[in-house]
Structure 1
Amino acid sequence: MNSGLPAGWTIEHVRALSGDPSAAPLSFDRLVVVEVAGQDDYEPLRPDVILAFHELCLVRNDGEWFMGQLDDDGSVICWASYGSNLAEAIRSL
Structure 2
Amino acid sequence: MNTDLPDGWTIERVRSVSGDAEAELLSLERLVVVEQVGFADYDVLQPDVILSFHGLCLARADAEWFMGELEADGSLICWASYGSDLAEAIRGL
**TM-score, normalization by structure 1:** 0.96
- Structure 2 runs not aligned, ≥5 long: none
- Structure 1 runs not aligned, ≥5 long: none
Q: Which residue number corresponds to residue 8 of structure 1?
A: 8
Question: Is the CA contact (8 Å cut-off) linking 1:2 and 1:11 kept in structure 2?
Answer: no
Question: Is the CA contact (8 Å cut-off) linking 2:49 and 2:60 kept in structure 1?
Answer: yes
Q: Which residue number corresponds to residue 76 of structure 1?
A: 76
Does residue 18 of the first structure (1) align with residue 52 of the second (2)?
no
CA drift at 1:40: 1.2
**What is the distance in 1 between the residues matched to 2:33 and 2:73?**
13
**TM-score, normalization by structure 2:** 0.96
Does residue 62 of the first structure (1) align with residue 55 of the second (2)?
no
**What is the distance in 1 between the residues matched to 2:2 and 2:29?**
17
Hey, which bits of structure 1, 4+ residues long, moved more than 2 A?
A: none
**What is the distance in 2 between the residues matched to 1:61 and 1:20?**
22
- Report the number of matched residues: 93
Q: Which residue number corresponds to residue 46 of structure 1?
A: 46
Correspondence 1:24-39 to 2 at 5 A:
24-39=24-39
Question: Is the CA contact (8 Å cut-off) linking 1:2 and 1:10 kept in structure 2?
Answer: no
CA drift at 1:3: 3.4
CA drift at 1:2: 7.0
The percent identity for this pair of structures is 68
